[in-house]
Amino acid sequence: MSFLGIDLGTGSLKAAIVDEQGREQAVSSVAYALDTPHAGWAEIDVKTWWSALADAMARLPQALRDGVRAIGFSGQMHGVVLLDASGAAVRPAMLWPDSRAVDLLDAWPEPQPNPVSPGMAGPLLRWIVLHEPGSAHRTRWALQPKDWLRVALGGAYVTDASDACATALANPAGEWDAALLARLEIPRDWFAPSMPSYAAAGTLSAQAAQALGLRAGIVLATGAADTPCAALGSGLVRAGDALLTTGTGGQIVVLASDEPAPLKGLHCYRAASDHWYRMAAMQNVGIALERVRGWLSYEWADAYRQAFDIPDNVAMGAVPGASFSAPARAGVDAAPQAAPPTPPSLTFLPYLTGERTPWLNPQARGGWLGLSLEHTRGAMMRAAFEGVAFSLRAGLDAIRASGAPVTALKLAGGGSVDARWRQLLADALDVELHAVDCPNAAPRGAAILGGLACGHWQTRDLATLAPGATRVAAPRGDAALAERYARFVDLYGRVEPWFGGAPRR
């Protein structure tokens, strides 16, 4: 007996099968690209997701697929999929990097329980109502990405609190706000009822089973958003447990027993279990480093060599594709002390796509300041890594200011495996880092939800399913780095008026 977890991510779909003890048996991943038909838009045809799922499933051993008893779902947060009454997509799905609704945020009166960003379902649906009335007229359901996937497999039209509360259309408990929807002229009946993330929500249809090489009739869990799924898969089960994930963006999650008090720049959402969590969400991690790598004309291996002073005789391994997770898998374990310091005068602001925590400014922008003729491409690449680490520190400082003392973080995500990058993160964030023995946390968390939905596990079993974690870096009290972080924060404050538009407060 085994359980399948499917993680519908922004740039790839992952499928993982875990056994009765929660141990990963097989995993596959299929990448895809977003469409940008206009500047600032981020869309994808749901057929692309389905093709990726079929491809990912075909890569898993048939013997393991035959033993799958339940399926759980994890999905990228905030975006929205519009379906008609027959379940067909009305238009391409709109995703969280989409900024077309940036001018509509004032429709959300202050104060809001959580920050409102243009790529959330609320602003995107408000844009649809205003600019695509034909699409609005044909719409019967407005679903989150993972909910669309479950429905496509034969499941019920439901959602869960972890996704609903992040739409800017529900309260922090995930209950739809009828008054807000009426004010925004978004139909209330577009939205599915909420169920626990670990509740059963239908069974696999015969058609989907045939396409995926699975047995028809197996249980489908409701599922959860990818961040709480990654937290669950990484073993966050008690209040105070904290996790750092780095990929396209970055998240710092701290579990709480009760609803935390709202604080500027932080998100307070429901977890996949019965907990809550504080979250600092930073948009510019892998996406910023990938763009800098391209600007500087580096392959990923060379970018790491130059930024972290890795000798040519140290093998980097194969570096596939333009993915921030790629250099991590190919990274080396040489002593992190070898990393060169960033020139004191050089600072990089990584805010190429605006920023959420802590600035709440979709107009924020980035770049280098302090360049001189003696600076090399390697120095610029190093400054970019450091700037991204500082942006994560700014998010962590917001969490600390909310009353959560964080001195250690579990570490997950593709971009956080290289020893030098880990040490830079530990020093910049002033925390111990503990690498979780779970390279695919979000699909593992989804698979656990499947096991809960079919009754194999109970929520009281979650602590026993937590993967092991090993301390991989500790802060060294780098005074020069602390000074450069203070310079980074000061620089952002000084240049913010250049960006145009006021930040969301």
Q: List the beta strands (DSSP E) in 23-129.
A: 24-31, 43-44, 68-75, 81-83, 93-94
Which residues, including other chains, have CB under 8 Å from residue 58's CB and lie 6 or more apart? 213
What CATH fold (topology level) applies to the domain 235-283+402-473?
Answer: Nucleotidyltransferase; domain 5 (3.30.420)
Residues of the chain with CATH 3.30.420.40: 2-227, 235-283+402-473
Residue 423 or 309, more confident:
423
Q: Pick the more confident residue, 115 or 197.
A: 197
The neighbouring-strand residues paired with 2 are 68
Q: Give me the chain's average pLDDT, please.
A: 90
Q: How far is the C-alpha of 385 from the C-alpha of 371, rounded, in Å? A: 16
In contact, 387 and 348? CB cutoff 8 Å? yes
Q: 402, 278 in Cβ contact below 8 A?
A: yes
The rounded distance, in Å, linking the Cα atoms of 278 and 252 is 8
Q: Please enumerate in sequence order all residues whose Cβ is within 8 A of that of 315, keeping only pairs 6 or more positions apart, or say none.
A: 332
- The model's confidence at residue 296, banded by pLDDT at 50, 70 and 90, is very high
Cα angle, residue 482 at apex, residues 357 and 382 outer, rounded to 5° = 80
> What is the arithmetic mean of pLDDT over 19-26?
95
DSSP β-ladder status, 200-203 and 219-221: antiparallel
Contact between residue 116 and residue 168 where contact means Cβ atoms under 8 Å apart? yes
Across 111-119, average pLDDT: 87
> Highest mean pLDDT: which of 102-106, 170-174, 217-221, 309-313?
217-221
CA separation, residue 230 to residues 72, 164, 221, 362, 441 (Å): 13, 17, 16, 26, 5
Inter-axis angle of helices 300-308 and 377-401, to 10 degrees? 80
d(CA 356, CA 473): 27
How many whole angstroms separate alpha carbon 420 and alpha carbon 365?
27
Task: Phi first, then psi: give them for residue 173, nearest 5 degrees.
Answer: -80, -5
∠ CA 177-175-258, nearest 5°, is 125
Q: Is the pLDDT of residue 505 over 80?
A: no
Residues 333-388 have pLDDT tens digits of 444 444 566 667 899 999 998 898 999 888 899 999 999 999 999 999 999 999 99
Tokens describing residue 92: 């391409």
The per-residue pLDDT for 343 is 67
> Is the predicted pLDDT of residue 321 greater than 70, yes or no?
no
Cβ atoms < 10 Å from Cβ of 19: 15
pLDDT mean over 484-505: 85
Does the pLDDT value for residue 148 go beyond 90?
yes
SS3 call for 224: strand
pLDDT value at 322 more than 90: no
| CB contact set of 269 (below 8 Å; sequence gap of 6+) | 114, 162, 165, 166, 172, 225, 227, 228, 276, 277, 279
Phi-psi region of 429 (alpha: psi -120 to 50; beta: other; left: phi over 0): alpha
CATH topology of domain 2-227: Nucleotidyltransferase; domain 5 (3.30.420)
pLDDT at site 7: 97
Q: Residue 501: pLDDT band by 50, 70, 90 thresholds?
A: low
In this structure, the number of other CB atoms found within 10 A of the CB of residue 320 comes to: 13
Cα R_g (the chain), whole angstroms: 22
3-state secondary structure of 342: coil
Judge whether 353 and 363 are in contact, CB under 8 Å. Answer: no
| Mean pLDDT along residues 109-116 | 85
Helix (H) / strand (E) containing 124: helix 121-131
